[in-house]
Amino acid sequence: MDQDTLKKLVGQRAVEHIEPLLGSDSIVGVGTGSTANCFIDSLAEIRDRFDGAVASSEATAARLKGHGIPVYDLNNVAELRVYVDGADESNLQLQLIKGGGGALTREKIVASVAREFVCIVDESKLVDVLGAFPLPVEVIPMARSAVARKLVGLGGQPFYREGFTTDNGNVILDVHDLHILDPCRLEDEINAITGVVTQGLFAKRPADLLLVGRANGAVDEIRAP
């Protein structure tokens, strides 16, 4: 099976997983990216089974609305039963690199309020050690160079994502050459740099369940250890 088919498969499987958890007043947190889009398209098929969604990006909000799914402001929502999103990399501890699509900050916020975080990936995203995918860091624009120097001090090679502005009006540095052996520590170190809004390591709040689409059409379910 090709990668696009696997994305549809895990999107559909995520809907099957969450459907029994939802009630008519449930709100679903929804991620961003091509895999999350597959999830949204499958979620639309059960849109009478839940109340609405909170979106992690403007693009996701538009796609949800296009399917007739009500989109709520997180400030008006007390609880998210579940958050479903893709990832750029996952290790077997379900620690992730996210933010390839630049939505990392809102993704991290929505994930932080969800009772369960279900991550959906095809098997190309599974790694032993995080860091082959460049780590996205969202930065306040005036701090771009200052933050980049600090990231070099942490052993990375930051590259400015030219021509890209996040939904929050900030810029992204993609940090190459990181071999992330202690993801929680690096998450703390980068968060402590003044000017960093957030970064794409989801290590301190990893996924709870990883659905991995395999080339043979199977979907593996991996739970957080």
- The least distance separating ligand 5RP from the CB of residue 31, rounded to whole angstroms, comes to 5
Footprint on residues 107-126 left by ligand 5RP (CB under 6 A): 107
Q: Taking CB under 6 A as the rule, does residue 206 contact ligand 5RP?
A: no
- The least distance separating ligand 5RP from the CB of residue 124, rounded to whole angstroms, comes to 9
Contacting range for ligand 5RP; rule: CB under 6 A; set: 11-19, 31-39, 43-51, 156-164? 31-39
Footprint on residues 71-100 left by ligand 5RP (CB under 6 A): 85-88, 98-100
Report DSSP state, residue 124: G
Please count the other Cβ atoms lying within 10 Å of the Cβ belonging to residue 65: 13
- Would you say the C-alpha torsion 133, 116, 62, 67 has a positive or negative sign? positive
Q: Is 125 exposed, middle or buried (0-12, 13-18, 19+ CB in 10 A)?
A: buried
The single residue listed with the structure tokens 């301190």 is 204
Identify which of residues 57 and 158 has a Cβ nearer to ligand 5RP in the complex.
57
Identify which of residues 31 and 134 has a Cβ nearer to ligand 5RP in the complex.
31
Contacting range for ligand 5RP; rule: CB under 6 A; set: 26-34, 43-51, 59-67, 155-163? 26-34
Torsion of CA 28, 47, 101, 181, to 10 degrees: 40
**HSE-up (13 A, CA, CB side) for residue 55:** 19
Q: How far apart are the first and last CA of the chain?
A: 29
Among 28, 64, 69, 103, binds ligand 5RP (CB under 6 A): 103
The residues with which 210 forms a beta bridge, in sequence order, are: 119, 222
- The least distance separating ligand 5RP from the CB of residue 48, rounded to whole angstroms, comes to 26
Among 29, 31, 134, 213, binds ligand 5RP (CB under 6 A): 31
Among 32, 60, 90, 105, binds ligand 5RP (CB under 6 A): 32
- The least distance separating ligand 5RP from the CB of residue 171, rounded to whole angstroms, comes to 14
- The least distance separating ligand 5RP from the CB of residue 56, rounded to whole angstroms, comes to 8
Q: Is 26 exposed, middle or buried (0-12, 13-18, 19+ CB in 10 A)?
A: middle
Active site residue 123: no
Catalytic residue among 107, 116, 138, 189: 107
Q: Is 89 left (phi over 0), alpha (psi -120 to 50) or beta?
A: beta
- Residues marked active site are found at 107
**Interface residues toward ligand 5RP, by CB under 6 A:** 31-36, 85-88, 98-104, 107
